[in-house]
Structure 1
Amino acid sequence: MSEKKEAVMDLQTVKESSQLSLQSTKEDGHSKGPIFDEKRTKNLVRKMDRNIVPFLSLLYLLSFLDRTNIGNARLVNLEDSLGMTGLDYNVALAIFFPFYVAAEVPSNVMLKRTSASFWFSFIMVFWAISTTLMGLVKTYPQLLAVRAVLGLWEGGLFPGINFYITTWYRRHECGLRMAIFFSAATAAGAFGGLIARGVSEMKGIGGLQGWSWIFILEGIVTFIVAIWAYFQVHDKPETAKFLTEEERSEVRRRLVEDRHNLADEWDMKYVWQALKDWKIWVHMLITFGMFICLYSISLFLPTIIKNMGYKNNDAQLMTVPPYVVGCIFTISGGFLADRYKQRGVFMIGYCIMAMTGFSMLLATESVGVQYAGTFLATSGIYANIPGGVAWNGNNIGGSTKRAIGLGLHASAGNLGGIVSSFLFLSSQSPRYLQGFGTLLAVSGMSCILSIIMTIYLRRENTRRDREGAEKGLPTPENYTEEMREAEREKGDDASFFRYVI
């Protein structure tokens, strides 16, 4: 008890001295930096949006396209060409994910210690080469080897972009930007079907099958964009050429104000803080369930629709509308969550939407109802992926802890890809009852955990407000810089930190 009293007295002393310092500053007439009104701030944020978000979306579109195009290639005789039978296709899907997951946290460490322009470009070059090589394989073991290498190089992009966005935008601005870049995944699903339908007609050119050209052409495009990325990606606000010096200062000021001067340097103790934070582990379970659903849709939707009774080429095209609707829900969900400063309720709502879709696919043989179910399932799942990342990232205090936490988040999610690879087996077609039943169960798990997390965060914020008032501490927005500095290494355990609910 005496230690707590001493800590409160120390904070009060810091508070009093900082107020005197602030009063002195005002009397001297000195300004703490450029003051942006609401209009200038909106223009600044839009300027960042134009120069950052579209290119990130392109990178992720290529990433998702290059990992999921095997689902389209399957409908263009991939299995027959390589002599694949039984579970061979499922194994080819699954082998990607252990290497993908293994790369995520180390990749975020490298991103933190190098630069975004270098690291994103570096990993893209190698996954582009891997994608191209998939079009040149002649045997099933070669396909497995290249898929494994592809996973290793692609693993860094998703957690890397999510962390990168948090270094530019305030917490209640991240959700929409993450949703926009992740909507590229839905675009990849739509484009994948259209591209596969057209490229499959290249069968015989260069002595290659149509499925080979799907991989080769997409790999070449990724390689070109990888080189472009080195010059296009802006590493950090302090060096961004598209910002003026005054704008750079304002971006930095906004981030410091929003994240409360919490520690930004690299130190292993923040890594351990992330590993010991139970909230991050709960988010990992939530995203594990969501990603099982995500990869089941992205890898098997062409097969699912084909087994509704459509021909191969028609099935490719029928995958497009669910992804288009899913893209709309993903972006609108990110916008509304940022606007109303609520994340948990949107996570819960989209989980229920996905569960409804899977129930429709599970419970009936009506093709119309099943196809409608794909719209609800796709929309609910895809909208929840960036929502979950933003929710977790918003509530991790400190730059290094956040980088590790988001890496763990993505790693847990992508482990779901291993599970999804074995949910839709050929022996269970055309209904895939086990697959849809599993997706209904894991989306229900994510829904329940989201409800628990929402309730906890609300209560924790209320507790901190109450205890702060009892100790005579100011409200979080009225903490001085000196008071924040005294707790800068505590991350989201700092007395002034409040969780995004």
Structure 2
Amino acid sequence: MSSEKGSSPSLPAKTSLEKDIERCDLIENSKDTAARAIDNFGDDATLPPPPALTEEQEKKLWRKIDLRLMPILSLMYLFSFLDRGNAKLQGLTTQLNLDGNKYNIALTMYFISYCIFECPANLVLKKFRPSRWLPVITVVWGIIMTLMGLVKNYPQLVGVRVCLGVAEAGFFPGVVYYLTLWYPRHQLQLRIGYFFGAASLAGAFSGLLAFAISFMSGTRGLLGWSWIFIIEGCATIAVGLLSFLILVDFPATAKFLTPEERAFVVWKKKYDNSSVGEEEHFSALHIIQALTDWQIFLHILIYMSIVGPLYGITLFLPFGHTTAISQLLTVPPYIFATILLYLFARLSDRLKMRSPFIYLGLGMLLVGFSINISDVAPGVKYFGTFFCVAGSYASYPGVVAWLGNNLAGQYKRGVGMAIHIGIGNFSGAIASNIYRTQDSPRFILGHALELMFVGIGIACVPAAVISYTRINANREKEMQKGMSYSQEELKKMGDRAPDFRYTI
């Protein structure tokens, strides 16, 4: 495909916008062409031409967007994680007579419904609008979590856990997909890190909160575990209602931005990874493309290698101490994981690379679970727990961002990421069943299977890197020969187009 070489009078030299235009081979001569750059992205073609911004002006714009989106999304996700793990220590298994593997089965049923409904939820996110869809499901899961504090027997617990999985299914993949509509691909991991960091903070905060709530045990005839669910459920409902007032839909319709700022964000995202822009309208072809894309299934294995250990260590932190001490001991590993998560995310976006930081996380997991499977003192095992928690949480945003970077076409990316997260989360269901009561206190089987997940990741990450490197090199050669595709053909090809480069 050829393009006219020239300089636009609206784009002064050495601005960040012009550098991006040069990279995309999209330098054109008129404002009419610039206006076409925002054609129908986000269902709006009425925006003005994108302005030229200096590097500092662009940073200021992204900070403005961050301050509007990230605090409320992080707060919503924090509350989705608060209920995981600590209730078991406050009498849940005893009062409901969860002998044998009943507790594990209840956890598994949540993951099954959660995984099944993730892909359908992502397909309806754009239709029902993020500013309504995400708050609604937050309020619904808050109600269900509150009701969980009132269950009286095992069947009721399983039923409520299934409903909770359905309600929460649309949130995480929905938010990640939503962020890909706002941020350029090499600014994405930091934003997923801001958002997902709430989960690791929840691990720390929920331990402190559960410790405080434990003093309410016996109030109105309810044990501590009931109050954990009731209080956290009511707080989740409040956050969901608040989010109705804060969340916005898409860049093209965001009223907190000026028309020029909207135009810049739309342009920047649309031409982030293609010289002709992204395919934006739904077709059944997008589902077929996602279901037949080799990289999605390879990334599912990489995802499972991180998520299996993440859920395993989140749901089971067997320190061998009293309940109160165990609650407090969960705090330092999660604080350490949060700090490392933000460090990994910032460096990964700056270097525009994902795989090295996923490897670092897998290496930490290997060390952590190797320590915990060994016959060593409890203090040494606790030290190993820091590696387990930090390795899984810090590398998780990179795993999600990596695939998001390498899928082009809005709906293909939405479907592909939902499949990726949905199937990958079945490793959470596996992790819910590998730490058996009879294996206490060493949990050799559980730790061994977590090491198996880590081994899968250590094998699959280089396979992905080698494949991407080879494809990028071949496309470079094809580009040098000259492309013979129309803009429409390139747009439909998405990440298969010769001008698309995979992130390594």
TM-score by length of 2: 0.90
Distance 1:22 1:210 in 2: 66
1:74-473 mapped onto 2 (5 Å cutoff): 74-260=88-274, 261-301=277-317, 304-305=318-319, 307=320, 310-469=321-480, 471-473=481-483
For residues 309-340 of structure 1, the C-alpha deviation after alignment (integer angstroms, 9 at most, x for no partner) is: x2110000000000000111111111110000
Displacement over 6 Å in runs of 4+: 20-25, 27-31
Q: Which residue of 1 aligns with 2:493?
A: 490
Aligned 8 A contact 1:290 1:413 in 2: no
Say whether residues 1:60 and 2:63 are aligned partners.
no
Aligned 8 A contact 1:287 1:412 in 2: no
Which moves more between the two structures, 53-62 or 423-432?
53-62
What is the CA-CA distance between 1:118 and the residue it aligns to? 0.9
For residues 120-159 of structure 1, the C-alpha deviation after alignment (integer angstroms, 9 at most, x for no partner) is: 1111121111100010111111111111100110011110
The structure with the greater share of residues assigned to helix is 1
User: 1:25–1:129: structure 2 CA closer, same or farther, 3 Å change rule?
Assistant: closer
SS in 2 for 1:396: coil
Amino acid at match of 1:254: K
Distance 1:206 1:483 in 2: 70
Q: Which residue of 2 aligns with 1:44?
A: 61
User: 1:59–1:472: structure 2 CA closer, same or farther, 3 Å change rule?
Assistant: same
Q: Which residue of 1 aligns with 2:37?
A: none
For residues 27-71 of structure 1, the C-alpha deviation after alignment (integer angstroms, 9 at most, x for no partner) is: 8999753111111101101111111111111111111223x1xx2
Amino acid at match of 1:123: I
SS in 1 for 2:324: helix
What is the CA-CA distance between 1:368 and the residue it aligns to? 2.0
What is the CA-CA distance between 1:88 and the residue it aligns to? 1.1
Aligned 8 A contact 2:115 2:426 in 1: yes
Amino acid at match of 2:73: L
For residues 384-428 of structure 1, the C-alpha deviation after alignment (integer angstroms, 9 at most, x for no partner) is: 211101000000011000000110111122111110111111100
What is the CA-CA distance between 1:291 and the residue it aligns to? 1.3
User: 1:208–1:288: structure 2 CA closer, same or farther, 3 Å change rule?
Assistant: same
Amino acid at match of 2:281: E
User: 1:20–1:186: structure 2 CA closer, same or farther, 3 Å change rule?
Assistant: closer
Amino acid at match of 1:348: Y
Distance 1:405 1:281 in 2: 9
SS in 2 for 1:151: helix
Aligned 8 A contact 1:358 1:377 in 2: yes
Distance 1:384 1:484 in 2: 36
Amino acid at match of 2:315: L
User: 1:486–1:86: structure 2 CA closer, same or farther, 3 Å change rule?
Assistant: closer
Distance 2:5 2:57 in 1: 29
Distance 1:298 1:28 in 2: 53
Which moves more between the two structures, 334-343 or 33-42?
33-42
Distance 1:154 1:498 in 2: 33
Distance 2:478 2:130 in 1: 40
SS in 1 for 2:425: helix
Amino acid at match of 1:177: R
Aligned 8 A contact 1:484 1:496 in 2: no
Distance 1:115 1:371 in 2: 44
Aligned 8 A contact 2:207 2:331 in 1: yes
Q: Which residue of 2 aligns with 1:6?
A: none
For residues 7-40 of structure 1, the C-alpha deviation after alignment (integer angstroms, 9 at most, x for no partner) is: xxxx4xxx26x56998997389997531111111
Distance 1:397 1:418 in 2: 30
Aligned 8 A contact 2:478 2:498 in 1: no
What is the CA-CA distance between 1:483 and the residue it aligns to? 5.3
What is the CA-CA distance between 1:74 and the residue it aligns to? 1.3
**RMSD over aligned Cα atoms:** 2.0
What is the CA-CA distance between 1:87 and the residue it aligns to? 0.8
For residues 324-371 of structure 1, the C-alpha deviation after alignment (integer angstroms, 9 at most, x for no partner) is: 001111111111100001111111121111111111111232222211
Long gaps (5+) in structure 1:
1-10, 475-481
Distance 1:121 1:164 in 2: 13
For residues 81-122 of structure 1, the C-alpha deviation after alignment (integer angstroms, 9 at most, x for no partner) is: 112211111111111011001110000011022200111111
Number of aligned positions between the proteins: 471
**Percent of pairs identical after alignment?**
40
Q: Which residue of 1 aligns with 2:29?
A: 26
For residues 294-314 of structure 1, the C-alpha deviation after alignment (integer angstroms, 9 at most, x for no partner) is: 11011112xx11x2xx21100
Distance 2:429 2:287 in 1: 26
Long gaps (5+) in structure 2:
10-26, 35-48
Distance 1:36 1:286 in 2: 38
SS in 2 for 1:264: coil
